[in-house]
Amino acid sequence: MSSTLDLLHQTAARLRQEGKTPSLALFKARLGGQLTAPALFSAYQQWRNQLPAEAGQQMQENEAEIPVPATANEQLQRIETKLDKILALLEQRNVSG
């Protein structure tokens, strides 16, 4: 497990260099192909427990700001709504252009 935890530490450092706050979602995006979901989650919990209390609090606040759809249907509805807006904007440009 220590190699997995080391991988999270390295990834967190890279994310911070990019100006991003490390989160489970970012770790999953970066490491999803290298680790199984249970291994990633377990290592993430250990990594978070090693953080100073202030940094952990900031991460929890940042994660709370991210809306997570409860179901795939809700997520699909959000995507469809965004697509409708994009198509409407494109149509407006074609009409006025």
Tell me the per-residue pLDDT of 38-61, one tens digit each, with 9 for 90 and over: 888 888 888 888 876 545 555 555
Q: Are 59 and 48 in contact (CB under 8 A)?
A: yes
For the chain, which residues make up each domain, given as ranges?
2-66, 70-97
Does the pTM exceed 0.85?
Answer: no
> How far apart, in whole angstroms, are the C-alpha atoms of residue 6 and residue 31?
12
> How far apart, in whole angstroms, are the C-alpha atoms of residue 97 and residue 95?
6
- Residues 6 or more apart from 64 whose CB is under 8 A from it? none
Reported as a single tens digit per residue, the pLDDT across 11-41 is: 888 988 988 888 888 888 888 788 888 888 8
| Per-residue pLDDT at 48 | 87
Q: Give mean pLDDT, residues 89-94.
A: 81
Residue 73 confidence class, pLDDT cut points 50, 70, 90: confident
